[in-house]
């Protein structure tokens, strides 16, 4: 006999490791690969900031499927990622960066610092070309 006192059949199921595992296993191949890249800090997720296009390109290469930006942005939002308001210039292009970890620290950075975090080699080359010493 089981004690069912306090049990509510309409309540949401408890958050357990088993439930999280089931959710991960039932995710699409796209979401599973995206989560694996994040867990391993691989590809675009080696840095705290990335562009949607970087992730789309990496997923297309890995999965060999057609992926659209909207699909990816919806996954990012569901995972707690968010776009940054500042849009740094890297190699003459203004980028829309997303952040996936260390949100508060990264959102406090300047556009130049974000450019260096996103692509340090390009940021240094741009600074040297402009005669600046603010990026190292």
Residue 94 scores a pLDDT above 60: yes
Domain boundaries, the chain: 20-129
Whether 127 shows a pLDDT value over 70: the answer reads no
pLDDT, average across residues 83-93:
89
pTM: 0.70
Report the helix count and the strand count for the chain, using DSSP H and E.
7, 5
| pLDDT reported for residue 125 | 60
Of residues 14 and 42, the one with the higher pLDDT is: 42
Burial label, 67 (beta-carbon count in 10 A; 0-12, 13-18, 19+): middle
- pLDDT per position as a tens digit, 40-61: 999 889 889 999 999 999 999 9
Q: Which neighbouring-strand residues pair with 62?
A: none
pLDDT range class, residue 136, cuts 50, 70, 90: very low
Give the pLDDT band of residue 15 (cuts 50, 70, 90).
confident
Average pLDDT, stretch 74-94?
Answer: 90
Alpha carbon dihedral 46, 134, 115, 83, in 10-degree steps, equals: 100
Which pLDDT belongs to residue 110?
A: 93
Are 128 and 121 in contact by the 8 Å Cβ rule? The answer is no
User: CA nearest 130: which of 86, 91, 94, 93?
Assistant: 91
Stretch 112-121: mean pLDDT: 82
Extended beta strands in 1-136, E state? 49-50, 82-83, 89-90, 93-94, 98-99
Cα–Cα distance measured from residue 63 to residue 30, given in angstroms and rounded to the nearest whole number = 8
């Amino acid at each position: 006999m089981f004690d069912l006192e306090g049990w509510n059949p309409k309540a949401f199921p408890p958050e357990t490791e088993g439930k999280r595992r089931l959710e991960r296993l039932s995710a699409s191949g796209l979401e599973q690969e995206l989560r694996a890249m994040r867990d391993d800090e691989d590809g675009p997720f080696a840095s705290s900031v990335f562009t949607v296009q970087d992730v789309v390109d990496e997923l297309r290469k890995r999965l060999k499927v057609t992926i659209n930006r909207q699909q990816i942005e919806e996954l990012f939002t569901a995972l707690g990622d968010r776009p940054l308001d500042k849009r740094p210039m890297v190699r003459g292009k203004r980028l829309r960066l997303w952040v996936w970890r260390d949100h508060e620290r990264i959102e406090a950075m300047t556009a130049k610092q974000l450019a260096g975090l996103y692509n340090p080699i390009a940021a240094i080359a741009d600074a040297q070309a402009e005669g600046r010493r603010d990026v190292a």
